[in-house]
Amino acid sequence: MEVLIVEDDDAMASALEAAVRSAGHRATRVSRGADALLIHRRFEVILLDLGLPDLDGIDVLRKLRQVTSCPILILTARDDERSVVLGLRSGADDYLVKPVKLVELLARIEAVTRRTVRTGESQHHSIVLGELDVDLDRRVAAVGPRVLSLTPTEFELLALLIRHAGSVVTREQILDALWGDAFLASSRSLDVHLTGLRAKLQLPGFIINVRGVGYRVEADLA
């Protein structure tokens, strides 16, 4: 894969490049957000630092999300709750706090790209539940005439839940399906994406919290 590393720290960038290349991928590094916005089109995965010299990483993330559905993983020293929530709600597929274990980073990259490939290989079909219409091939979801502006991870979460409509999907199953490893993945990330999805759906009671187990959507909705 072609991986774009957006990182202004030379030592960190060198370590990331070495890790990415050791896994057989190709890596290109830029140190400025403006450069990332110029060349992002030829990359399959983007690793994005938030502390960039020219633009705030969150602004770069938002601009990228307007033009690409490419998986974006944030790598940053910002570990406060507000930054994590803001990054995930702005469209990041994952959020890792430095220093990050390179083995875990590679696992996260594999997880988000595996999700993308799986979606690309799916046959064209839609699922309709009441007012909700989800086109799994075009990756478009709508409630009645209202098309939802979902991040890639929010769409994957919605698709997973509606594929299992009527059944409980455990938190571990969700973490494993969306991030590749239920034990490595951050439960906090799931909570943020779930909150964002519920807010955009505007369907109270649609996603039911099964206490201590997971989540369920009803198979039959009036």
pLDDT at 121 over 50: no
Confidence of residue 123 (pLDDT cuts 50, 70, 90): very low
B/e letters for 108-140, b = 16+ CB within 10 Å, e = fewer, are: bbbbbbebbeebeeeeeeeeebeebebebeebe
pLDDT at residue 122 above 70?
no
Task: Please say whether the beta carbons of 174 and 116 come within 8 A.
Answer: no
Bridge partner list, 133: 128, 142
Least confident of 17-21, 108-112, 131-135, 157-161: 108-112
Cβ neighbour number for residue 42 with a 10 Å cutoff: 8
> 103: how many CB neighbours lie within 10 A of its CB?
11
Q: What is the largest CA-CA distance in the chain?
A: 57
When pLDDT is cut at 50, 70 and 90, the band that residue 118 belongs to is low
Cα–Cα distance, 87 to 189 (Å, whole number): 10
Task: Between 125 and 122, name the one with better pLDDT.
Answer: 125
pLDDT at res. 117: 56
What does 137-203 look like in DSSP terms, one character per residue?
A: TTTEEEETTEE----HHHHHHHHHHHHTTTS-EEHHHHHHHHHS-TTTS-HHHHHHHHHHHHHHHT-
Q: In the prediction, which pLDDT does 124 show?
A: 47
Question: Phi, psi (5° rounding) for residue 110?
Answer: -60, -40
Report which secondary-structure segment, H or E, holds 52. none
Question: Kindly report the CA angle at 105 between 159 and 9, in degrees rounded to 5?
Answer: 125
Mean pLDDT over residues 54-70, rounded? 89
Average pLDDT estimate for 182-189: 67
pTM of the model: 0.68
Torsion of CA 70, 64, 42, 28, to 10 degrees: -100
Grade residue 175 by pLDDT with cuts at 50, 70 and 90: confident
Average pLDDT over residues 71-76: 93
Tokens (6 digits) for 91: 């469209």
Give mean pLDDT, residues 135-140.
87
User: What pLDDT, on a 0 to 100 scale, did the predictor assign at position 115?
Assistant: 66
pLDDT band at 68 (very low <50, low <70, confident <90, very high): confident
Query: 74, 140 in Cβ contact below 8 A?
Result: no
